[in-house]
Chains A and B, each alone.
Chain A
Amino acid sequence: MAIDTVPPLIAAQLNYLLSHSPLPIKVEQMWSGSKNHGLLDRFTLVIPFCLDYIRWDVIYNALYPLAAPDIIFGPEDESFRPYYAAGEEGDLKSPKNSMSDWNCKDPTRLLSLILELRELYMTYQRKRVGEVEDERLKFELSTIVSREGIEMYMSSGIEKTEEVKFALPLLGVDINKMVTGCPWRQKQKIFLQVIFPVGRKYMSTPSAPRLKLVASPELKALFSIEDFRLPSWLDGMCMAEYLPILEGLLQSQIVDAVSSIDVRRKFIVALAPLFGRPVEADPVFCRKAAFLTSSGVFTFLVHFSLPLQFPKQQPGLMLQSSQHFNPSGAPVKSPVITEFPWSPRWESSEMAERFFDYLVEECLNFKKYCNESLLQQR
């Protein structure tokens, strides 16, 4: 974003929004409303909604800096008219809102406007979903409507079949608190996205909805959403039955994931008497550790990376020379080594000893590999 061609009052409001928004809102593009001034006074915001994104165009006018911006919603949302009597004083149907009470000099205004509109949009979508003539959907809605933090979305269009999408936050438990020394600044969240087709005809066995789990990105240091197998949605099931089963399974797997941190920790600590103090190791999730070792005058690093399924899944091993460099000056690295003696049933001290014995031999191969790669460069 070229700050110096965005008018300052607009830039102040946009920057405030980007740095203070509780949701990860992004700017997709910026453009100018007029060829004459070329100032960037229009932009598209990409706003998370219902585990997907909605795009709204924010239209300022550089020539009228005091005025509130217009917001243009997506093409599917023609009937979304918040503040429909915006600006009309004394109209009982439109209470004072962020638009009618605009202050261009206040940098917080754009963010409050967008968040307020997003809340209204949620209400609008809820109403649309509630009006759908589908008995099954009406029933499903009634069983979850009291859950906190739900978002829903009705998608329709000439080419698309009608679908209703729900985003359901799962697990009331605070995962951050379960991890000692947790570095996450934000609370980690897991959502279930449920997509029902809208079927106006009566069906004896309604089809299962499409299901997807979505989690905040930092969670992957502890737990893999991708590797989690969703329980099957049995015929005739409803969300009220499915959710407790899912949450029970998720909860127990997360508890397991937290206790496996210490299994990895124990392994790293067991390596230290043989490999020395690691130059760096991850003390919270225990996913990585690097050691500095030598064989004669050949000094090299040993990198261990521990997968979430350790010890069922073996560690990744990689060696890095301190004395051999490729043409761009980077130290020569081995490929990731997978062929070493391994059993998940060994005690961590035995695992460490086996690695030591293995590397006493293997480092000579690595030294050869490094010398050969230097010769190839000549």
Chain B
Amino acid sequence: MERTEAQNSTPQGRYTLLPSRYSSEDIIFCIDVDTESLVEMKVTGPNGRPITRLDSIKQAILLFINAKLSINPDHRFAFATLAKSASWLRKEFSSEVESAMDALRLLSVDSSSGHADLTQLFKLATHEAKKSRAQNRILRVFVIYCRSSIPPQHQWPVNQKIFTLDVVYLHDKPGPDNCPQKVYDALVDALEHVTEYEGYIFESGQGLSRVLFRHMCILLSHPQQRCLQDLVDLPKSLTKKSPTADSAPGEENPAVSSQ
């Protein structure tokens, strides 16, 4: 599969930082607003209040935006929702956190959507990507999907790849009445079909916000500087390299598997 390779690795995968294209990003978050976004996460909030997937997603997006802007204040963000198809929530790109918070407040779920089609999203993204490129920026689409039985569909010409696609997939545990694996495969398929630079996809059925937040941080990776997803070794663990008599205090088990 032809894909624009990031420049920052030797053939052995060792990290290098050669002078290369470094474009500021325009990132479109596309958030699933089907009723499955209201499924509760495993941990409750303060005072035992339940937290839905949508609550965690909103927090995760704010985490992402704040972190991204700490790295480079020139990145910008816009918002769309996905029901049966995609539609704009806030189409003007902005690098203001306040503006993102205002957009996220508008986010709400209305009803069960039935099927999901990503084609319109890709069309929107292609239109925006052309504008971004004219300003020496690159476009990224960030899909956050929550349906456990509905693989999304798309129709896209083979060689049109002018934006990067990342996916986060939150789902129920696999059972006889759902097919999250099938959904995951469809998302991978879409990603490989449309993405310009290496796209990343993460899934979780555990219902833990902390895992979602960790995935979001890995997704901070700038598309022009990524390695293949199989080679991602983040986050790196800060433990003493040589074991000593008194091991690092209060060490919990190392973080759960990279998925």
- B238 adjacent to A356 (CB under 8 Å): yes
Q: Is the CB of B46 within 8 A of A378?
A: yes
Contact B220 A280 (CB under 8 A): yes
Residue-wise, chain A 268-291 has the 8 Å CB interface mask toward B (1 for contact) of 110011111111111110101011
Could you tell me if B19 and A331 are in contact, using CB atoms closer than 8 angstroms?
no
Write the nearest CB–CB distance from A191 to chain B, whole angstroms.
Answer: 26
A contact residues around B15 at 8 Å (CB): 269, 272-273, 277-278
The answer for the CA separation of A7 and B218 in the assembled complex, in Å, is 51
CB interface residues, B 234-253, toward A, < 8 Å: 234-240, 248-253
Partner of B237, one of A265, A295, A325, A378: A295
Residues facing B in A256-272 (CB within 8 A) are 265, 268-269, 272
Task: Decide: A292 near B234, CB < 8 A? Known: A283-B22, A284-B22.
Answer: yes
Chain B residues in 8 Å Cβ range of A3? none
> What are the interface flags for A309-347 relative to B under an 8 Å C-beta threshold, 1 for contact and 0 otherwise?
000000000101011010011110100000000000000
A329: B residues at CB distance < 8 A: 58-59, 62, 101
B112 is an interface residue with CB less than 8 A from chain A? no
> Whole-angstrom distance from the CB of A281 to the nearest CB of chain B?
6
Does B158 belong to the interface (CB within 8 Å)?
no
Nearest CB in chain A: distance from B25 CB, A:
9
A112 CB–B CB distance under 8 Å: no
Cβ B70 vs Cβ A294 within 8 A: no
Instruction: State in angstroms the CA–CA spacing of A277 and B218 once bound together.
Output: 10
Is A320 a contact partner of B67 (Cβ separation < 8 A)? yes
**For the complex, is A303 an interface residue (Cβ under 8 Å from B)?**
yes
Q: Are B70 and A279 in contact (CB under 8 A)?
A: no
* Nearest CB in chain B: distance from A304 CB, A: 10
- State the Cβ distance, A152 to closest chain B Cβ, in Å: 36
Q: Is the CB of A297 within 8 A of B235?
A: no
Q: Is residue A360 contacting chain B, with contact meaning CB distance below 8 A?
A: yes
Nearest Cβ in chain A — how far from B38, in angstroms?
Answer: 19
**Chain B: interface size category:** 35 or more
Query: Please, how many angstroms separate the alpha-carbon atoms of A113 and B8 in the complex?
Result: 49
Tally of A interface residues using CB under 8 Å: 51
Within 8 A of A (CB), among B198-228: 210, 213-214, 216-218, 220-222, 225, 227
Chain A residues contacting B16 (CB-CB under 8 Å) are 269
Q: Is the CB of B63 within 8 A of A360?
A: no
Q: Which of A274, A325, A333 contacts B236 (CB 8 A)?
A: A274
B51 → chain A closest CB, angstroms? 13
A375 to chain B, nearest CB (A): 11
Contact in complex: B213, A296 (CB < 8 Å): no
Pair B234/A323 contact, Cβ less than 8 Å = no
- Report B-chain residues with C-beta under 8 Å of the C-beta of A277: 8, 15, 221, 225, 227, 232-234
Is A157's beta carbon under 8 Å from chain B? Answer: no
Q: Do A283 and B220 have beta carbons less than 8 Å apart?
A: no
User: Which A residues touch B240, using CB under 8 A?
Assistant: 357, 360
CB contact under 8 A between A268 and B237, given known A292-B220, A301-B217: no
Is A150 part of the contact surface with B, judged by Cβ < 8 Å? Answer: no
Is A303's CB under 8 angstroms from B21's CB? no
- A32, CB-defined interface residue at 8 Å: no
Q: Which residue of A181, A293, A356 contacts B235 across the interface (Cβ within 8 Å)? A: A293
Contacts across chains A and B counted by CB atoms under 8 Å: 154
Complex contact A294–B235 (CB within 8 A): yes
- Are B21 and A276 neighbours in the complex by a CB distance under 8 Å? no
Is A188 part of the contact surface with B, judged by Cβ < 8 Å? Answer: no
Asked if A292 meets B19 with Cβ closer than 8 Å, knowing A274-B236, A299-B255, A360-B238, the reply is no
- Cβ–Cβ contact B238 & A322, under 8 A: no
A359 on the B face (CB < 8 A): yes
- Give Cα A153–Cα B251 distance, bound, in whole angstroms: 69
Q: Point out the residues of chain B lying under 8 angstroms from A318, CB to CB.
A: 70
Q: Is A180 an interface residue (CB 8 A)?
A: yes
> CA–CA, A328 to B98, complex, Å?
10
| A364 at the binding interface (Cβ < 8 Å) | yes
Q: Is the CB of A292 within 8 A of B235?
A: yes
Looking at the assembled complex, report how far the CB atom of A343 sits from the nearest CB atom of chain B, in whole angstroms: 21
Contact of B210 with A323 in the complex, beta carbons under 8 Å: yes
Contact B235 A278 (CB under 8 A): no
A286–B58 Cα distance when bound, in Å, is: 32
At the interface, yes or no: B17 with Cβ under 8 Å from chain A?
Answer: yes
Give the docked Cα–Cα distance between A286 and B160 (Å).
32
Contact with B22, one of A274, A282, A356 (Cβ below 8 angstroms): A282
Tell me whether A325 and B59 are in contact in the complex, defined as CB-CB below 8 angstroms, given that A181-B20, A320-B67, A331-B66 are known contacts. yes
Closest to A265 in B: B17
Which residue on chain B has the smallest CB distance to residue A357? Answer: B240
CB of B71 within 8 A of chain A? yes
Decide yes or no: A276 and B234 within 8 Å by CB, A284-B22, A301-B67, A322-B63 being known contacts: yes
**B216 and A322 contact, CB distance less than 8 A:** yes
A276-B58 Cα distance, complex, nearest whole Å:
27
B19 touches A299 (CB 8 A): no
- Bound-state CA distance A215–B227 (Å) is 37
Determine if A172 is an interface residue (Cβ-Cβ < 8 Å).
no
Q: Which residues of A contact B70 (CB under 8 A)?
A: 290, 301, 303, 318, 320, 333
- Complex formed: what's the CA distance from A322 to B62 in Å? 10
Could you tell me if A183 and B213 are in contact, using CB atoms closer than 8 angstroms? no
Can you add 16 more A-B contacts, CB < 8 Å, to A277-B8, A284-B19, A330-B62? A183-B136, A185-B136, A269-B16, A278-B225, A279-B71, A292-B235, A294-B214, A296-B252, A297-B252, A322-B214, A322-B217, A323-B213, A329-B58, A329-B59, A331-B66, A364-B249
Q: Can you spell out 13 A-B residue pairs with CB atoms less than 8 angstroms apart?
A: A276-B234, A277-B8, A284-B20, A291-B236, A296-B251, A296-B252, A297-B253, A301-B70, A301-B220, A303-B70, A331-B66, A357-B240, A378-B46
Nearest first, the 7 A-B pairs at minimum CB distance are: A181-B19, A276-B236, A272-B15, A294-B235, A296-B252, A180-B19, A329-B62
